[in-house]
Structure 1
Amino acid sequence: MIVWGLYEQPAVHHSLLKNHKIQMRPSFDPQRDYTNPTGNGTPDNSIDLVLMDACPSRTVPIRRRSTFAGIVTRDNPATVYYGAGGMVSIINPAVTSGQASASVISLEGGPPDQFSVIRVGWMVGILRDQGATGLASLTLSIPQRQNGQMIGCYNTYCPGFVQTDPSIELDMTLGPISVVRGPQYYIKLSVTQDISGSNTATTKSRSGIGQVVYSPTWATVHPGLRWGGMGSSSTGQVPPMGNGDNGEIHSSHFRQLVLQYEAGTSLNGSVDVPLDVVQTRSYKCGNNYYKGEFWGYSFYFGGDGGDATQCC
């Protein structure tokens, strides 16, 4: 969710609303007709829908639309994962204000009321509430569900994240950038859990960027893993994902997918668990299988984006 000025929200850009003065309240009392409608003394069990933290005066909340395309582990309570890794193309997709495009590895777990995610990857974004630059940069995010709402944080602003590597900076600009039908450049990513229960996010550094240390409410195992791209937008258009729709050969891709099956162990190079392909009308994914030593288990993903109402 992001906060927009009252007259800056996307709907106000419609030509019919040009110079329109927004009426803040209806001319009638909307609550009056809903007071005990049964008339039989039944207690009112309705709830008040409010955010935990209201937006500042003269601003409103706009939900950011997020779409994923990639590979996910199939739901299987009997299978436990403690980490995941892979190498992903470094791309610099063209985004506009209010949009973000990312390539990530995600670990997901916990009961429904305490569901949490750890994501590590790169992101290109021009987001009003985060000041992103529009360049591919290293990112860590930890969305969590609290009191029925999904909240989140990025990079070193995440409570419980302690950076340990002095040579890698979260939010650092990445490069060189992969070229369609030309040289390809990759970043090696992984998130692993050690025997203490903490999670380590890494790039090429063997020691890891830092550790994510959770309270006891965090699930000690992660039943779900994802590799792929995410497109996020608070506008009527979703951004490009990866380097766009360039087919199986020339689209952005993950290669050398790896898993961790036991805490404190190394990532296992074999991907021998059921995986599902997730794609939409705007974002494609496929060609997923083992292709030899260089590629390992790999797949392509991406898309051109476009009209948000037609993307999913």
Structure 2
Amino acid sequence: MESSYCHDITPIISVFLLFLFVLLFSPVFPAKDLKDLRNANTTFHSNKKLTNNTTKKINKPFVKSIKSPDGDIIDCVLIHLQPVFDIPILKATGPLDPPEMPNENKKGGMETEVKQLWNNSNKKHAIGYISDGEFYGAKANLNVWAPNVTRAREFSLSQIWVIADVPTHPLSTFDAGWQVAPTMYGNSSPRLFIFWTNDGYRSGCYNLNCPGFVQTTHEISLGATIYPVSTYNGRQFDIKVLIWKDPIHGNWWLKVGNTVVGYWPVALFPDLNKHATTIQYGGEVYNAQKPGQQHTSTIMGSGHFPAEGYGKASYVRNMEIIDEYNALKPVGDVNLFAEKPKCYDVKNDFDKFWGYYIFFGGPGNNPNCH
């Protein structure tokens, strides 16, 4: 049986997605063992209400169609037919096998499982970051919420940024995490997503909207719904995200939970040929505020400020980076940044189980937010 991936036709704007058959999600407390349920030789991509031009661009013959409980239509396509392999520099390569995983110190603590239901100046951040170093990847657990997004085109997200900021070139970055973007996806559910740019956000791509990421699994759908989500003063859920550089071939790989999703080919990102220069963790809101309007009420994370702590504020925990020896190590004390701390803020701390972590977020528009 030939390997395949599948695509969903769900988001309102053109989207070329991959589907999770089962990637597992579990509460932070109590911890449960991770499960690894694999269905051999299939991957998935989903998409809905595409424009004619986009449909023609990404249309590939599918071998199976599946309807997700949340309404997504999943079309399964042969894995070697992904649009990324239409790029001449990658045409002869085909999908690669996952490389050696980064070395890590095994320690007790909480694990997570994940389940899915089958550029610009107006972006506000609340993040922890490290810079001016040589980084070969990053890892963290991202607390999942379903923040209220109040204006068209706005979104709210939590993610890891892996950035190459070379003085002589525009910035390049790989991003991965979750986002709520109703204009993009058609509803207010949190969605697993990736983003990339190699020209300082002059162009770039979400998920598989255009060639730039190679899918290697049938288990994950980029752009599909994540569930369950955290509740205020209730149970908390998070997803574990790892981005790392293959020490042999140089490609940058993504793993979510127990599943290796695929990779960004380094041939398309020359500034990340050696290493990244900055790692960021935290939240971002796109504020579509027009002149004369109040600041958006789109919330970040849970909508509550970091001072409220666990169960109330959103977090990123067990923040780690990968060094030149392909080893995971604690990120250490991070720098903090928030453009508008009275709207969205961030604070950091350390715990023997959570390692280095941040709480972040806020309600957006309020009497102190200007």
Q: Do they superpose with TM above 0.5?
A: yes
Distance 2:315 2:120 in 1: 29
Deviation by residue 1:246-288 (Cα, 9 ceiling, x = unmatched): 433120101111110126x2422x223x5201122311101x2
Distance 1:198 1:132 in 2: 32
The answer for the alignment partner of 1:118 in structure 2 is 174
The answer for the alignment partner of 1:291 in structure 2 is 351
Q: Does the CA contact (< 8 Å) of 1:160 and 1:214 recur in 2?
A: no
Distance 1:284 1:228 in 2: 10
1:68 counterpart = 2:125: yes
Distance 2:123 2:281 in 1: 15
Q: Does the CA contact (< 8 Å) of 1:259 and 1:271 recur in 2?
A: yes
In structure 2, the CA distance between the partners of 1:123 and 1:132, relative to structure 1 (3 Å rule), is farther
Aligned counterparts, 1:97-176, within 5 A: 97-112=152-167, 113-127=169-183, 130-145=184-199, 150-176=202-228
Offset at 1:229?
Answer: 0.1
The answer for the alignment partner of 2:328 in structure 1 is 267
Q: Does the CA contact (< 8 Å) of 1:104 and 1:121 recur in 2?
A: yes
Counterpart pick for 2:281 among 216, 227, 236: 227
Distance 2:266 2:279 in 1: 18
Offset at 1:132?
Answer: 4.5
1:255 counterpart = 2:321: no
Distance 1:162 1:67 in 2: 30
Q: Does the CA contact (< 8 Å) of 2:314 and 2:360 recur in 1?
A: yes
Deviation by residue 1:203-257 (Cα, 9 ceiling, x = unmatched): 1024x11100133633321010000000013234432100012433120101111
Distance 1:83 1:145 in 2: 20
Distance 2:216 2:320 in 1: 23
Offset at 1:305?
Answer: 1.1
SS of aligned partner of 1:218: helix
From the CA coordinates, give the structure whose radius of gyration is larger.
1
Offset at 1:111?
Answer: 2.2
The answer for the alignment partner of 1:50 in structure 2 is none
Q: Does the CA contact (< 8 Å) of 1:98 and 1:235 recur in 2?
A: no
Distance 2:300 2:232 in 1: 14
1:304 counterpart = 2:363: yes
Deviation by residue 1:142-186 (Cα, 9 ceiling, x = unmatched): 13326xx62221001242200111111101101111011110011
Amino acid corresponding to residue 331 of structure 2 in structure 1: V
Amino acid corresponding to residue 356 of structure 2 in structure 1: Y
In structure 2, the CA distance between the partners of 1:98 and 1:64, relative to structure 1 (3 Å rule), is farther
The answer for the alignment partner of 1:83 in structure 2 is 137
Identity of aligned residues (%): 25
Root-mean-square deviation (CA, aligned residues, Å) is 2.4
Unaligned runs of 5+ residues in structure 2 are: 1-118
